[in-house]
Structures are given as structure tokens and as C-alpha cells.
Amino acid sequence: MEDSSQPIWYTEYVNTKDLTPFVLHEVTSETSSMTDGIYCIDQNITGDGRSVEYCQKAWLLDKSNPYANLSWYTSIESIIPPCNTLKQKEKCLARKNDPGDCRWHHHKCTNAPDRISCLVKHCQVEWLEETSFPIGRPCRPFWEYCRGYNPSLYQCDQFWDYCKKRLDTDHPGWTYPKESCKDPRISNETITTCQIKWLEYKENPYDPLQSGETCYTFWNYCRDELERKYANWTYPIDNSYCENNPSLTCKVEWLGYDTYDEWVASDSSLSNDETCRSFFDYCRLQLKARYPRYVWPFVHPPTVDDLMPGRCCLDTPVETDVNSEFWGSHVSMILILV
């Protein structure tokens, strides 16, 4: 049985894998190649730098995409020294605390017009999806630097959107965490116990894809437990009586038969009635439960010794349970003659 504390779609959701990790195309002047798929990495989720390859439970609590703001990327500034400066990288290092921010300054300024025309001041989001560097565009070193800055965090934005869109499509109206079962047709209060009204339905009346998911799961649980404990249950309860007599009690003549079929077979005038069969079985069950050592018929007609065993008797039932209701049937009827 699935975990009833989670929505029915939960297992499917957390087992949804990222099948389209980000691919960073590495372009050089001689060749074009692709890196291996880059998955989302979020230290706040994994805590150890591992890739996030499946839809995350934590994302279910997000009202909006926490990765949608790409300001961390678009705020990366282009620091381009003048072309007439021979030591471009050295100047960059002097202006930046992180040497990594100056790695694209390794080239020499061999094309002054190209350097002067590079007016782009920050990394552009569309550069991440480009598979080649456009011919005639300046600032190629900065383009390459921006694309390799943190593609795994960019992939978090893409994968979060995919997980939520798929959940919205497959399970519209989903909610998390799981809500309590509420059905105003049955009660104005939260439903926390199996309902008698549910016995009237042969099939689950709730739609798990709409607002009745919690009630749907709870209804299934109640029905499974009912069938497990009472496999032959019926509803509504049959109110008919054996011999159409609501005052009828267990019959003495039934004591001589172990089954209802034996009793019916003993007299051709008797008919096979299911209501009487049920009552016969009930009486038999109660008799065995309450008096497991019952004796029928009596060995002889009851006498005063059977009903009131005591000092009047010659022998004492030393091998008999003195607390038994049938203690007297083991007492001798021989009286002491004076």
C-alpha cells in the first residue's frame, strides 16, 4: 500500500528524471563539440554539490520558480581594457578580486576595431543556447566566458519549469501538502473516520484528479479494510426474520444437529431458508462460545441429584470441575439408606 501521508501522484513526481540536461556547445575556430549533459546543482537542496537529476520535494512548496531570476548571470560585467594597452589581463586582475573573472583576457588585442565595437556590457541569456559564435559578432572571448560561467544553475531554472508543467498537466488542481478529506454532502466537518454513507457505493465516488484526491485515497483504505476483515459483508443489512418471526429465539430442537442442512434433511416439511440458516449458525456459534462443554441430550432425565448435587449423594465427583454447570450429571443417584 502506498504512503497515505503523501498525495497519490507524489511517487511519480519524485521519480521524474531530467531527460534533457543542458548541453554546452564548445566552439573553437577549428571544430565544434558538445560537453556531456549538465544537470542542475543547488547546494541548498543537496548540500554536497551532487547533481539534481529528479524533481524535488522542496520545489512543491515553491509558489514560483526560485531560479527564474537570472540576475546572477546577467550582472556579470564585461571589463575590456583599451586596445592600446599591452597588459590587458594584468589590468583586469588589478580591478577584480576573482582571477576567474579575467580568464577571457588571455588573447592579444590584434583587432582594434573589433575591440572598440564590443559595446555589450553584461552576459546575455541567449548566449547559453547558441551552438556557435555568430560570424561578425565582436567580443568572442567574453561570449565564451559567460557561457561557461555556471550552466548547472541555469539548468535548475529549466528543470524546475519542466517538473511543475508536467505536474500541472498530469494532475491538474494538485495541492501540497496533502489536504484533509472534506465532503459537504456528508459532513461540514473534516472527515476522519470511515463513513456509513460510503457503503452505498460500489465504486469510489471521488475523482483523484480533481479536488477529491484525499477522500479518494481514504475511501479506498476504508473499503480495503472492510473487505479484509469482513469478506462477505453486505449493505444495507437484511431485516428479514426466520419464519417471519422477530421474536423467535434459538430452538431447542436445533441442539440435536450440527448443521442447518442436517436439520432440514430430518423433516421433509422443512424448507431451506437462508434467513433461518443464518440464525441457526448464529445460535450454534453462541452455544459453542459460551458453553464449550455442553452435553445434549442428557444421559437420563434430570433428577434432584442433577439439579442440586450435595451431601445426599453417595460418591463425590472428585474428578469433575465443581464449578461446571454439568457437575450434577456425574453424581450417582444411589441414596444412603438409614
Residue from 215, 212, 116, 223 nearest 173 by CA: 212
Q: Where are the domains of the chain?
A: 10-78+118-169, 179-236, 242-290, 298-338
Q: List, for residues 47-78, the tens digit of each pLDDT value.
A: 888 999 999 999 999 999 999 999 989 888 87
Block residue for cell numbers 448443521: 259
Grouping H, G, I as helix, E, B as strand and the rest as coil, residue 62 is coil
31 pLDDT more than 60: no
191 pLDDT more than 50: yes
Q: List, for residues 193-208, the tens digit of each pLDDT value.
A: 889 899 989 999 988 7
The DSSP secondary structure of 195-210, one letter per residue, reads: -GGGGG-SS--S-TTT
What's the predicted TM-score (pTM) here? Answer: 0.49
Which grid coordinates belong to 271? 424448507
Using CA of residue 225, residue 231, residue 237, residue 239, what is the dihedral sign?
Answer: negative
Burial 250-287 (b: 16+ CB within 10 A, else e): eeeebeeeeebeebbeeeeeeeebeebbebbeebbeee
pLDDT of residue 135: 65
Confidence band, pLDDT 50/70/90 cuts, at residue 151 = confident
Burial class (CB in 10 A: 0-12, 13-18, 19+), 49: exposed
Among 92-106, 152-166, 178-192, 299-313, the least confident range:
92-106
Confidence band, pLDDT 50/70/90 cuts, at residue 110 = very low
